[in-house]
Amino acid sequence: MSLTGQVRPIVAAVVVLATTVYAARAEEANDYPTSARAEYVYGCMKANGETRQSIEQCSCSVDVVASIVSYERYVTAETALSMSQVRGNLGTQFRTSEQANAAVNDLRRAQAEAEVRCF
């Protein structure tokens, strides 16, 4: 077998490996379902005006947040924020939970980064 014949399988293996790594990273970065992204953009647009520019900015914002905070962590933070508004013992549990507060803080930091990058 010639040198060229030996190199081709190695190059093919490297290409397959690189493609697999890229696909895995893309999945990690895109683990937010479309409905969650749409809901985020909708809420963002309600807060920032319903203009073409706000669509662009809010779409950018959700992409930045998704690149920083996993979807699971995002759901935890959104649930904590929602449930902390409930009166009584149940709301208190969400307001005082270290895990919930950490998730909310992660989300707020990601949103601050999105604000800097997108608005």
pLDDT tens-digit readout, 79-108: 999 999 999 998 898 889 999 999 999 999
Cα–Cα distances in angstroms (integers) from residue 109 to residues 30, 40, 63, in the given order: 19, 16, 14
pLDDT tens-digit readout, 21-48: 333 444 555 799 999 999 999 999 999 9
pTM of the prediction?
Answer: 0.73
The pLDDT, as a whole number, for residue 94 is 87
CA atoms within 13 A on the CB side of 112: 6
When mean pLDDT is compared across 10-19, 69-78, 88-97, the lowest value belongs to 10-19
Residues 6+ apart with CB under 8 A from 18: none
